[in-house]
Amino acid sequence: MSNLVVIGFEEEHRAFELRAELVKIQKEYLLEMEDVVVVTKDGMGKAKLHQAVNLTATGAVGGTFWGMLIGMLFLNPLVGAAVGAGAGALSGKLSDIGINDDFMKELGETLTPGSSALFVLIRKSTPDKVLDRIKGFKGKVIKTSLTLEKEEKLRAALEQGD
């Protein structure tokens, strides 16, 4: 079972910094993330999602390949590639893997302008080593599906000084 963790920051850049650190930790096999998204709220009060994977672009690339392949069967690969790219981009835009986008936008609307939040869906982790690496990021735990004990350890790690 995966666990959801949402950490809020007063500055926009802090969520991006923590996401970068979590990606490094994942490369060391101490953490396995299913999804990780930064949500920022601009000065106009609009929440914006910064996905780690652009599904629209991924869908367009896959659609182009399959459209060109099918187009070759009908002797018109360029039209097939164009149609495939459009269909792939549309399906990528409509896809939602990992954390629900509507949930992130709704929670993002509660942020103050200029702030950010990091949404992480964690599949597996080595908690003691991960907590040691994220000490001092000065974030505030907004929401988790962790046990109370694990949530308290996370709060304590984030509040510790650099």
What string of DSSP letters covers 115-151? -EEEEEEEEEE-HHHHHHHTTT---EEEEE-S-HHHH
Q: Tell whether 75 and 143 lie within a shared domain.
A: no
What average pLDDT does the chain have? 80
pLDDT at 56: 44
Q: Tell whether 33 and 59 lie within a shared domain.
A: no
Q: What's the length of the chain?
A: 162
pLDDT at 50: 87
* Residue (of 94, 162, 93) closest to 133 by Cα position: 162
How far apart are alpha carbons 4 and 26 in whole angstroms? 16
pLDDT digits (tens, 9 = 90+) for 17-52: 999 999 999 999 999 988 899 999 888 888 999 887
Count of structural domains, the chain: 2
CB atoms within 10 A of CB 116: 26
Which of 66, 94, 122 is the last residue in one of the domains?
A: 94
Give the range among 22-36, 87-101, 117-131 with minimum mean pLDDT. Answer: 87-101
Q: Tell whether 67 and 85 lie within a shared domain.
A: yes
> What is the rounded average pLDDT of the residues 50-59?
57
pLDDT at 98: 73
How far apart are alpha carbons 65 and 59 in whole angstroms? 10
pLDDT at 85: 56
How far apart are alpha carbons 18 and 119 in whole angstroms? 11
Confidence of residue 87 (pLDDT cuts 50, 70, 90): low
Taking 90 as the threshold, does the pLDDT of residue 143 lie above it? yes
Q: Which tokens belong to 158?
A: 């984030």
Q: Which structural domain, as residue segments, surrounds residue 68? A: 55-94
